[in-house]
């Protein structure tokens, strides 16, 4: 599994903000536009000019993949998710109806990160037809909709009204969709039954699914999973990220001035020490 | 090297393993043999991109202590950063001062955050009694300077490891190095106020409670 080392990305730091925005706005070099969209998100450039350029890129018609997809739109959506600008919410909601699956997926993930509840109805639309409609697209590795991203977003956004739509996805044939449903159900109900589904997934046969469960448990900060996370057969880097999520959840409501560590927080820190 | 038949069989089992789970079992068995002859095979396992087996191999190497160190230093993988991180982790667990140079360099300059993380933790784990006291005195200052530098790393997990390194370094001093203890406490206080990551501040808090 690749690490997120910025150095691997080559000379990413050598662009200036102005250059990146200019690269995104020119129309000749598609590679540079694509890279600039990523770069603005990666380095959290949320100036009005950057936002404007990314919103424009979200409507781009030039950059087309061999499969008919829209690579630049995907990158622009991902970047907008990282920049915390509410102005991006309506355009991203429109992206949820776009024909390119990966644009819809990137938009759902971006809307999750932006945290604006006004997109909940638009996200729920993508669950129409329930599990029966959630079939694989012939010849593609993915389903008809980006169910994982949509369900995870609904969980993070606290869409309690969607509980009945999400629950059946616990039985979907794709394990990652099941995990997304368990994660969202835990966030929406606080019921440990759903956390335990993810704990069991840590003992699964396939490494990529164990990794997925680690990320989900970190995201929901399910404290009873701490030991199981530390013992999972996966990279320490990922287990540390997962435990960081638990630690943060164990300290919720604790302000920095009076940082007090309860035994459960200390237990998580000791597990993290053992993984360094 | 003369390899005992029993160890040879365990080595072959590792080489022949054809599933992730089979490999894990074979590496655990080979590690449990605690035989010096297993070292090259255990180091080879670190390159396999099988985290479970790598954990077992690292534990086996740490159990073998100093005899594993020359092999680890010699076979360190400059190209595969995953393997390098595991090897550094083994050296960190053994704590032999012979690995000091490589740990100092890795903690502050390696491009892979897993390597920097493992090395920073290892710098706190050096068994100073294996060095004569004058060499130890100089090396401790160098380790502290490097860890203070690593506390500025851009990655939270590396800063976290540096804090753990500082804490264990402080514990190895006992009462001998008040000069360095002062610097460690000062660094911790600064980071408790200034580090952007809650998890790092929490780890500092835990360190300060017992220093």
Let me know if residue A159 belongs to a domain.
no
Whole-angstrom distance, CA of residue A106 vs CA of residue A87: 17
Let me know if residue A261 belongs to a domain.
no
- pLDDT tens for A100-131 read 999 999 999 999 999 999 999 999 999 999 99
Domain that holds residue A83: 1-115
Q: In terms of pLDDT, which residue wins out, B176 or A88?
A: A88
In this prediction, residue A1 carries a pLDDT of: 35
In this prediction, residue B211 carries a pLDDT of: 82
Residues in CB range of B73: below 8 A, 6 or more apart: B91, B98, B99, B102
What value of ipTM does the predicted structure carry? 0.91
- pLDDT tens for A258-275 read 788 999 999 999 999 999
In this prediction, residue A61 carries a pLDDT of: 87
CA angle A134, A138, A142 (to 5 degrees): 55
The boundaries of every CATH 1.25.10.10 domain in chain B are 96-211
What share of chain A in percent tops pLDDT 90? 85
In this prediction, residue B77 carries a pLDDT of: 80
Chain A touched by B3 (CB under 8 Å): no
Label residue A4 by pLDDT band (50, 70, 90): very low
CATH number of B1-75: 1.25.10
What's the CATH code of the domain at A4? 1.25.10.10
Distance from CA of A59 to the nearest CA of B (A): 34
In this prediction, residue B1 carries a pLDDT of: 63
Query: Does pLDDT of A217 surpass 50?
Result: yes
Among chain A residues, the shortest Cα distance to B89 is held by A276
Tell me the average pLDDT across A197-214: 96
The shares of helix, strand and coil residues in chain A, as percent rounded to the nearest 5, are 70, 0, 30
Query: Does pLDDT of A161 surpass 70?
Result: yes
In this prediction, residue B174 carries a pLDDT of: 66
Tell me the average pLDDT across A185-197: 97
Contact criterion met (CB below 8 Å) for A42 and A33: no
Let me know if residue A158 belongs to a domain.
no
Chain A touched by B117 (CB under 8 Å): yes
* Ranges of chain B whose pLDDT falls below 70: 1, 174-175
Beta bridge pairs of residue A136: A143
In this prediction, residue A13 carries a pLDDT of: 54
Whole-angstrom distance, CA of residue B80 vs CA of residue B83: 6
Distances (CA, A) of A185 to A65, A181, B26, B207: 36, 6, 39, 36
In this prediction, residue A6 carries a pLDDT of: 38
Contacts of B164 in chain A (CB under 8 A): 273, 276
**Average pLDDT for chain A:** 92
Whole-angstrom distance, CA of residue A214 vs CA of residue A100: 29
Query: Does pLDDT of A42 surpass 70?
Result: yes
Whole-angstrom distance, CA of residue B30 vs CA of residue B13: 9
Fold designation for B96-211: 1.25.10
Residue corresponding to tokens 């069991």: A200
Up-side HSE of residue B30: CA atoms within 13 Å toward CB?
A: 35
Asked if B201 and A233 come within 8 Å (Cβ–Cβ), the reply is no
Closest by CA position to A146, among listed A231, A78, A90: A78
Asked if B157 and A256 come within 8 Å (Cβ–Cβ), the reply is no
Number of independent structural domains in chain A: 1
In this prediction, residue A108 carries a pLDDT of: 98
Among chain A residues, the shortest Cα distance to B115 is held by A276
Closest by CA position to A132, among listed A175, A165, A179: A165
């Amino acid at each position: 599994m690749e690490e997120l080392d910025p150095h691997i990305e080559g000379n990413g730091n050598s662009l200036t903000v102005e250059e990146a925005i200019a690269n995104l706005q020119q129309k000749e070099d598609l590679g540079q536009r694509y890279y600039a969209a990523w770069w603005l998100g990666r380095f959290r450039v949320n100036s009005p000019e950057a936002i404007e350029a990314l919103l424009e890129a979200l409507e781009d018609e030039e950059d087309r993949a061999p499969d008919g997809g829209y690579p630049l739109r995907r990158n622009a959506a991902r970047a907008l998710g990282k920049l915390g600008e509410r102005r991006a919410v309506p355009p991203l909601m429109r992206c949820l109806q776009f024909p390119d699956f990966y644009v819809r997926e990137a938009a759902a993930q971006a809307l999750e990160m932006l945290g604006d509840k006004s997109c909940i109805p638009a996200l729920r639309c993508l669950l129409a037809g329930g599990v029966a409609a959630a079939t694989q697209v012939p010849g593609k590795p993915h389903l008809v909709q980006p169910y994982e991203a949509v369900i995870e977003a609904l969980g993070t956004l606290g869409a309690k009204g969607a509980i009945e739509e999400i629950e059946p996805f616990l039985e979907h044939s794709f394990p990652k969709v099941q995990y997304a449903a368990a994660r969202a159900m835990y966030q929406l109900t606080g019921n440990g039954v759903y956390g335990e589904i993810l704990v069991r997934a840590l003992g699964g046969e396939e490494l990529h699914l164990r990794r997925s469960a680690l990320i989900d448990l970190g995201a929901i900060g399910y404290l009873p999973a701490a030991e199981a996370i530390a013992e999972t057969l996966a990279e320490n880097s990922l287990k540390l990220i997962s435990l960081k999520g638990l630690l943060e959840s164990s300290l919720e409501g604790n302000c920095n001035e009076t940082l007090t560590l309860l035994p459960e927080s200390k237990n998580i820190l000791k597990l993290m020490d053992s993984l360094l | 090297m003369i390899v005992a038949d029993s160890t040879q069989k365990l080595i072959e089992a590792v080489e022949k393993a054809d599933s992730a789970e089979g490999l894990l079992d074979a590496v655990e068995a080979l590690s449990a043999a605690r035989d010096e002859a297993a070292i090259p095979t255990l180091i080879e396992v670190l390159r396999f991109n099988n985290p479970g087996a790598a954990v077992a191999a690292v534990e086996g190497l740490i159990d073998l202590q100093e005899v594993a160190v020359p092999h680890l230093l010699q076979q360190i993988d400059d190209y595969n950063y995953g393997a390098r991180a595991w090897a550094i982790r083994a050296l960190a667990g053994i704590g032999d001062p012979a690995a000091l140079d490589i740990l100092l360099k890795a903690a502050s300059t390696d491009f892979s955050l897993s390597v920097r993380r493992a090395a920073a933790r290892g710098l706190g784990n050096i068994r100073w009694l294996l060095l004569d006291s004058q060499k130890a005195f100089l090396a401790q200052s160098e380790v502290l300077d490097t860890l203070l530098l690593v506390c500025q790393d851009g990655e939270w997990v590396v800063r976290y490891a540096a804090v753990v390194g500082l804490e264990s370094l402080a514990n190895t001093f006992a009462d001998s190095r008040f000069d360095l203890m002062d610097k460690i406490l000062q660094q911790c206080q600064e980071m408790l106020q200034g580090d952007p990551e809650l998890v790092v501040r929490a780890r500092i808090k835990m360190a300060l409670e017992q220093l």
